[in-house]
Amino acid sequence: MIVESASRRRVRTVLAVAVVALFVFPLYYWTTTAFKDAREIFNIPPNVWTFDPTLKNFEEVFGISLGFLRQQEVLPGGGNFYMAPRLWDSIVVALGSTALAIAISVLAAYALSRMDFRGRHAFVGWVLSTRMMPPVAVAIPMFFIYKDIGLMDSYLGIILMHTLINLPLGVLLLKSFFDDIPKEIDESALIDGASRFLVFRRVILPMAKGGIAATAVLCFIFSWTEFIFVLTLTQTGLKTVPVVSSSFVTSTGTAWGNMAALGVAAMVPAFLFILLVQKQLVRGLTLGSLKQ
Amino acid sequence: MATVAYRNIVKSYGAVRVMEDLSLDIADGEFAVLLGPSGCGKTTLLRMTAGLETVTGGDLLIDGARMNEVHPRDRDIAMVFQNYALYPTMPVWENIGFSLEVRKLPKAEIRKKVEAAAAVLNLTDYLDRYPRELSGGQRQRVAMGRAMVREAKVFLFDEPLSNLDAKLRAQMRMEIRQLHDRLETTTIYVTHDQIEAMTMADKIVLMKGGRIEQVGTPDDLFDAPASLYAADFIGTPAINLIEGAVVDGAFKSAGIHLPLPPGTAATAGQRVTAGLRPSDMTLGAAGSITGRVVLAEKTGVEQNVHLDIGGADFVVTAPRDVSVRPDETVQADIPPQKIHLFDSASGARL
Ligand SMILES: Nc1ncnc2c1ncn2[C@@H]1O[C@H](COP(=O)(O)OP(=O)(O)OP(=O)(O)O)[C@@H](O)[C@H]1O
Ligand SMILES: [Mg+2]
């Protein structure tokens, strides 16, 4: 570690803790809200550190799957707050669209990075331009198209939509990772007798793991939080967490506690996914600076 | 084992022509060195040979067969890149054996060949390491090993030693040359280091701006440079070049008066440049060259004495025990047959 005076280090530590606290506090407050009774949530002054923890919100949101409640008990004259299947919808959509987006963009990005064909440079700009249109402008026409071709209200429909939106980002990001790998490595493998695809699979892909993990995380998070398309392209078949969160806003008031409970639960799969690819991720995000 | 021939090779990148009508023959088992300054087209020629770059015009022949349109994979060539291009996610043994694995050789046979190559290259203890865990010299040897196990027709090297320190470079120079003497594989070796070229080559191909300036053995290039450019490029310290004129059957310039070398084509009154190698000259009490000592650089074995002759720097290599003092006036001499004369305008040897 670099040498510095003790007082300087103390100032730095205090600053660091303050900044981290600033970021972590909303998360903490949201999480505790999920464990508070409805009456306690809006107490003034707020009960930040001391409150009566309750699992009621979680019971209402995940009751049936946790074995506390039976289906008919969930509806005491209000909305249906049972959300476990919605969490599952989110997982299927996010994993599906991430896998598909990565599979397509990894091949496209490699081709764009390595192969010389007419209009290669224009192609990159064109890929990027598809992201320039605001999503809302696309959502309405997509609604009619989906209705006509029967993708409305289906997993496949939403997965395809999210894949489509993630592709430009995936292609450009992965292309920059491939661009960082010296061309001589491909050439060396080609001279060694490998085919293009074998070079890609055996040599390049293992080198790009970090970049792929980083891209996958971004795709996953996008799909996990996407709202507009799920709202317009689904009815009753499936709904992801962001959309269904809005159903806690009812005519008789907003169920903040339940909303927080769902939000906290929704963080878990995303967190697990990131944890899973974390080892690669660190390498991916620092590639270039740490390249040997 | 193979011959390589270039017939009127032309290369353009878009509208930019970087190589013009280049022809060259490399014999079976020969160690040919492409030598030239940065940007003269050495790498381009090598990459065309490997099939990594298209040939714009002319023919590339390996063993007499035209290769212009053949895929790199099917040329049976092994190449060592300047940055080695090792596969970072594979351990050393897999790096070396990759080409055999691609050709679907049995595992046991791959293992055997990799181990044999590793033994020759002193890599046996490093087979399980990854490239990032190796030193520069070891990486360089892995790259060599990768080429060796191939038993390819032609080896191509693109400045393989340029990332190594001086001592390791000298050692690898010898190892590569010994390896070549054992395997006798036709080799094309690119460098801009004239010492590498002089020490390793059977044949030096001196290039300049996409053209071949001179082809010959190291001795040919040193003893009979075909042009001013060739004379200036080869030899350390660099050859002394003195502009002057042929007057009364002798070379005359400020402070210098030399006889003409035997058999020269220089004619009276012609503007010529004389090339005098520092090592061909002797310091003494009498001589045809008179100058004032500026500085004596010791190199260990000998010393390079810098003289001021009419304002120009002039170097004479002398034994270490000759003592000279700054500002002393000394004489230097050279045997007539060691004098190189060039036409000052065209640079051609006379
Ligand atoms: N892809 C390319 N596009 C355009 N010009 C190129 C390209 N590659 C090389 N050149 C040009 O071709 C010429 C020869 O380049 P080359 O790389 O063969 O030089 P070199 O002799 O290997 O030099 P060095 O010793 O620096 O490696 C240079 O003038 C270079 O600018
Ligand atoms: Mg080069």
CA distance linking residue B94 with residue B282, whole number of Å: 56
pLDDT of residue A56 exceeding 90 = no
Given this model, what pLDDT does residue B57 score? 93
**Same domain membership, residue B207 and residue B249:** no
3-state secondary structure of A76: coil
Residue in A with minimal Cα distance to B85: A185
- Across the interface, do A190 and B87 touch by the CB < 8 Å criterion? no
Q: ipTM, 2 decimals?
A: 0.84
Least confident among A141-150, A233-242, A272-281: A272-281
| Number of cross-chain residue pairs from A and B with Cβ atoms under 8 Å apart | 60
Residues A26, A122: one domain?
Answer: no
For residue B204, how many C-alpha atoms fall within 13 Å in the half-sphere facing its CB?
A: 30
| Pair B221, B257 in one domain | no
The answer to whether residue A26 is domain-embedded is: yes
Task: Provide mean pLDDT across the span A41-66.
Answer: 79
Across residues A262-291, what is the average pLDDT? 72
Contact of A214 with A208, CB cutoff 8 Å: no
Interval A131-148 mean pLDDT: 88
| A182–B85 C-beta distance less than 8 A | yes
User: Residue B77 above 60 pLDDT?
Assistant: yes
What is the distance between the alpha carbons of residues A167 and B223, in angstroms, rounded to a whole number? 64
The residue contributing the CA closest to ligand 1 atom 18 is B41
The model's pLDDT over B94-122, given as tens digits with 9 standing for 90+, comes to 999 999 999 999 999 999 999 999 998 88
pLDDT of residue A118: 84
Residue where a domain terminates, one of B216, B232, B248: B232
The answer on B46 and B175 residing in a single domain is: yes
Interface test mutation site (partner A, options B48, B74, B89, B114, max chain A beta carbons within 10 A): B89
Residues A188 and A249 in one domain: yes
Domain-located, residue A67: no
Domain boundary pick from B232, B267, B294: B232
Residue A33 lies in a domain: yes
Could you list the residue range(s) of the whole structural domain that residue B110 is in? 4-232
Q: What's the pLDDT tens digit per position in A165-216?
A: 999 989 999 998 899 889 999 999 999 999 999 999 999 999 888 889 889 9
Residue A292 binned pLDDT confidence (cut-offs 50, 70, 90):
very low
Interchain contact B102–A (C-beta under 8 A)? yes
Q: B83: alpha, beta or left, given left = phi > 0 and alpha = psi -120 to 50?
A: alpha
pLDDT for the residue numbered B71: 93
Cβ-based neighbours of B332, under 8 Å, separated by 6 or more: B281, B282, B283, B284, B287, B288, B289, B290, B291, B307, B316
Are B146 and B85 part of one and the same domain? Answer: yes
Same domain, yes or no, for A21 and A163? Answer: no
Residue ending a domain, among B175, B207, B232, is: B232
Helix (H) / strand (E) containing B297: strand B289-298
Question: What's the number of domains chain A is made of?
Answer: 2
Looking at the structure, tell me whether residues B215 and B269 fall in a common domain.
no
Which pLDDT does position A69 carry in this prediction?
Answer: 56
Instruction: Give residues with Cβ within 8 angstroms of B65, minimum separation 6.
Output: none
* Same-domain status, A23 and A168: no
* B77 and B12 housed in the same domain: yes
Question: Is the domain of B223 the same as that of B258?
Answer: no
- How many angstroms separate the CA atoms of B249 and B268, rounded? 7
The beta-carbon neighbor of A190 closest among B72, B89, B103 is: B72
The residue whose CA has the least distance to atom 17 of ligand 1 is: B43
Q: Is pLDDT above 90 for B35?
A: yes
One domain, residues A31 and A130: no
pLDDT digits (tens, 9 = 90+) for A23-40: 999 999 999 999 988 888
Asked whether residue A66 is domain-assigned, the answer is no
Between CA A188 and CA A79 the distance in angstroms is: 63
Q: Which residues pair with B349 in a beta bridge?
A: B342
Q: Which residue spans within chain A are E strands per DSSP?
A: 249-250, 253-254
Q: What is the β-pairing status of strands B250-253 and B256-259? A: antiparallel
* CATH number of the domain within which B267 lies: 2.40.50.140
> In the predicted model, is pLDDT for residue B265 greater than 90?
no
Task: Categorise residue B227: left if φ over 0, alpha if ψ from -120 to 50, beta otherwise.
Answer: beta
Are A123 and A43 part of one and the same domain? no
B349 within a domain of the structure (yes/no):
no
Residues A146 and A226 in one domain: yes
With respect to residue B350, please indicate whether it lies within any of the assigned structural domains.
Answer: no
CA distance A210 to A203: 14
Q: Residue B106: its pLDDT value, please? A: 95
Q: What is the CATH number of the domain that holds A228?
A: 1.10.3720.10
Answer yes or no: is A70 within a domain.
no
Would you say B289 and B298 are in contact if contact means Cβ atoms under 8 Å apart? no
State the nearest Cα–Cα gap between B78 and chain A, in angstroms.
7
The answer to whether residue A1 sits within a structural domain is no
Whether A76 shows a pLDDT value over 80: the answer reads: no
Question: Is residue A46 pLDDT above 90, yes or no?
Answer: no
Q: Return left, alpha or beta for B147; rule: phi > 0 is left, psi -120 to 50 is alpha, else beta.
A: alpha
* Contact by Cβ (8 Å): B8, B57: yes
B95 and B207 inside one domain: yes
The reply to whether A149 and A242 lie within a common domain is yes
Residue B347 contacts A, CB cutoff 8 Å: no
Model pLDDT, residue A288? 42
Let me know whether B221 and B294 are in one domain. no
Assign A75 a pLDDT band (cuts: 50, 70, 90).
Answer: very low
| pLDDT-derived band at A65, boundaries 50, 70, 90 | low
Considering chain A, what percentage of its residues have pLDDT values greater than 70?
90
Q: Are residues B78 and B150 in the same domain?
A: yes
Atom of ligand 1 nearest to the CA of B45: 18
In this structure, the residue with its CA closest to atom 16 of ligand 1 is: B41
Distance from C-alpha of A223 to C-alpha of A212, rounded to nearest angstrom: 16
Q: Name the residue facing B78 among A190, A191, A203 (closest C-beta).
A: A191
For A119-123, A283-287, B75-79, B137-141, which range has the lowest pLDDT when averaged over its residues? A283-287
The protein residue whose alpha carbon is closest to atom 7 in ligand 1 is: B13
Domain that holds residue A148: 84-286
B164-183 burial, b at 16+ Cβ within 10 Å, e below that, comes to beeeebeebbebbbebbeeb
**Sheet order of strands, B31-35 included:** B77-80, B154-158, B186-191, B31-35, B203-208, B211-216
Crossing angle for the helix pair A155-180 and A120-129, to the nearest 10 degrees = 140
Q: Is residue B73 part of a domain?
A: yes
User: Is the same domain home to B316 and B209?
Assistant: no
Q: Which atom of ligand 1 is nearest to the CA of B37?
A: 25
Pocket of ligand 1 (CB under 6 A): B 13, 16, 18, 36, 38-44, 192
Domain count, chain B: 2
Contact A289, A71 (CB under 8 A): no
Chain A contact for B323 (CB, 8 A cutoff): no
**Whether residue B307 is found in the same domain as residue B335:** yes
Q: pTM for the full model?
A: 0.82
pLDDT digits (tens, 9 = 90+) for A213-243: 889 999 999 999 999 999 999 988 888 988 9
Most confident of A40-54, A109-123, B20-34: B20-34
Residues A180, A93, single domain; the answer is yes
| Whether residue A152 is found in the same domain as residue A34 | no
